[in-house]
Amino acid sequence: MIPLRIKVDTDAVESYVVRLRSLEGFANEHARHELNSFEAALDAAGPDGADYLGEGGSIRIHGIDPSEVDGDVLLVNPRRGVADRLIRRSSPHNTFLVTERCDQLCVMCSQPPKEHHVDMFPHFEAAALLAPQDATIGISGGEPTLFKDQLLEFLQRVMAERSDLRFHILTNGQHFDERDLVAMQSLDRGRIVWGIPLYSRDPAIHDEIVGKQGAQERLLRNLAILCRAGAQIELRTVLMEPNARGLPELARFITTTLPFVQTWAIMQMENIGYGRKNWKTLFYDSSAGFDVVARALDLVRSRGIDAQLYNFPLCTVPEAYRPLAPSTISDWKRAFMDECDGCDLRSQCGGFFEWHPRNHGYSGLGAI
C-alpha cells in the first residue's frame, strides 16, 4: 500500500502544515528564498533520511524517497514524530477526514465511528490552499456535517481563495435544514458534489442498514432542501444482500421522486470495519446476480440520470455495462488478485480493496 503516514523528525513544537519541494533547483539557499512560508525545500538526502529546510523550521523524513513526496502537503505532528500526507501531488485521491464521529451505525461501515474528535479545519484550510491546480479534494468522516457550520465556513473561505478547486463531500444527509439555504446558495455549487447514501426504497430496510429509526424520512426531506439549494447530488447505494433484490424498485423511486440527482452510484462493499464483521451475511455476489443491477441501471439511464458502478472489478460486470464501472478505489488502497494476472483489462480496472479477502466471494472472477 502507498504510505499515507511517514516518520519524521522536526525542530518544531506544534503541529503544522508544509509543502515539500524536492526539485533540484530548490536545493540551494537562493532558491529557498523563493519559497512561501508553508514550503520547505530539500537540503540533503541520504540513507538516514531526507532533510528539508523552510521558514517553519527543519524536517527530516524517513523511509520514503524525496521524489515520491515532491509537492506533497504534509501535516507534521512533532509530538508523535509522524506526518500525514494530506495532499499527494501526483494522486487524484486526496481526502480530508473531518471527524470519526457519526450519528449512524451502518452495518457495513468501513470506518466505525469513534467518540474522539479534534478540530482539524485550520490545518485542512492551509492544506487545501497548497493543493495542485484544479485538484478535487474529498471531505469525509465519520459524519462531517456534525460540524456543518465549520464545514460551510471552510468551503466559503477556500473556494473564495482558490477558484480552481473542487470538493466531493460524503455525508449521510441527516443534518441539513432550511436555515442552510442561504449559506449553501452562496457557494459555487458547480464545484461541490455531495455524496449521499440511500440504500432502499423501503424505509424499514434503509433504517435497519444505517441503524437509525426514521433516517430515511429525514434524508428525503433534506434531499429536497439540497435540491432547492441547487446542490449537485451523487446518490450512493452500497449493494448488499438485504437491499439487492429491491434495486429496481429503488431505481423507479429515484426516477419519479429524485430526478434532480446528478448521479446514482451502485457500490460494492468493503471488507473492513463492520463490513468485515458482517461480510458473510451482507456480501452480494454481483458476478452471479447482476440481473437486478442491470435492470436498475437501465431504468434510471432511460430517464436521463447518470448511473455508475463503483468498486466493481470489470470481470464481474457484463461487457455492455463495463463503461459504467470506472476505476474508483483510491490508489493507496487498491490491489489485485492472483486471478487478475494476464488480464487485458487490468490497466482499466479498479481492482479490489487491499483488504478484500483472498476467498473473494465472487463466483465469476478471472482474467479476460
Collapse the DSSP code of 169 into the 3-class scheme (helix H, G, I; strand E, B; otherwise coil) and give the result: strand
Predicted confidence (pLDDT) at residue 1 exceeds the cutoff of 70: yes
The span from the CA of 115 to the CA of 102, in Å, is: 8
The span from the CA of 30 to the CA of 42, in Å, is: 13
pLDDT tens, residue by residue, 178-214? 999 999 999 999 999 999 999 999 999 999 999 999 9
Instruction: Give Cα separations from 334 to 92, 313, 357 (angstroms).
Output: 13, 11, 13
- CB neighbour list of residue 233: distance below 8 Å, 6 or more residues apart: 193, 194, 196, 223, 226, 227, 260, 261, 262, 263
pLDDT tens, residue by residue, 322-365? 999 999 999 999 999 988 998 999 999 999 999 998 887 899 88
Q: Are 47 and 63 in contact (CB under 8 A)?
A: no
The span from the CA of 315 to the CA of 313, in Å, is: 6
pLDDT recorded at residue 357: 87
pLDDT recorded at residue 55: 83
pLDDT recorded at residue 358: 80
pLDDT recorded at residue 2: 86
Residue span(s) of the chain under CATH 3.20.20.70 come to 94-353
Range 45-48 contact pairs with CB under 8 angstroms and sequence separation of 24 or more: none
% residues pLDDT > 70 (the chain): 96
Collapse the DSSP code of 78 into the 3-class scheme (helix H, G, I; strand E, B; otherwise coil) and give the result: coil
- As a whole number, the mean pLDDT across the chain is 94
Region for 366 from its dihedrals, namely left if φ exceeds 0, alpha if ψ lies in -120 to 50, beta otherwise: left
pLDDT tens, residue by residue, 30-62? 555 567 889 999 989 998 899 999 887 899 999
Q: Residue 25's pLDDT band (boundaries 50, 70, 90)?
A: very low
Q: Residue 22's pLDDT band (boundaries 50, 70, 90)?
A: confident
Cell 474508483 found at: 328
- CB neighbour list of residue 323: distance below 8 Å, 6 or more residues apart: none
The span from the CA of 211 to the CA of 213, in Å, is: 7
pLDDT recorded at residue 188: 97
The span from the CA of 50 to the CA of 54, in Å, is: 13
pLDDT recorded at residue 37: 85
Q: For the domain with range 94-353, which CATH number is right: 2.40.50.220, 3.90.1300.10, 3.40.50.460, 3.20.20.70?
A: 3.20.20.70
Alpha-carbon Rg for the chain, nearest whole angstrom, is 22
Predicted confidence (pLDDT) at residue 368 exceeds the cutoff of 80: no
pLDDT tens, residue by residue, 98-128? 999 999 999 999 999 999 999 999 999 999 9
- CB neighbour list of residue 213: distance below 8 Å, 6 or more residues apart: 207
pLDDT recorded at residue 120: 96
Sheet with 192-197, side-by-side order of all strands: 94-97, 136-140, 166-170, 192-197, 232-239, 263-268, 306-310
Taking residues 83-107, report their average pLDDT.
96
What is the DSSP pairing of strand 306-310 with strand 334-335? unpaired
pLDDT recorded at residue 31: 54
pLDDT tens, residue by residue, 292-320? 999 999 999 999 999 999 999 999 999 99
pLDDT recorded at residue 23: 62
Taking residues 146-164, report their average pLDDT.
97
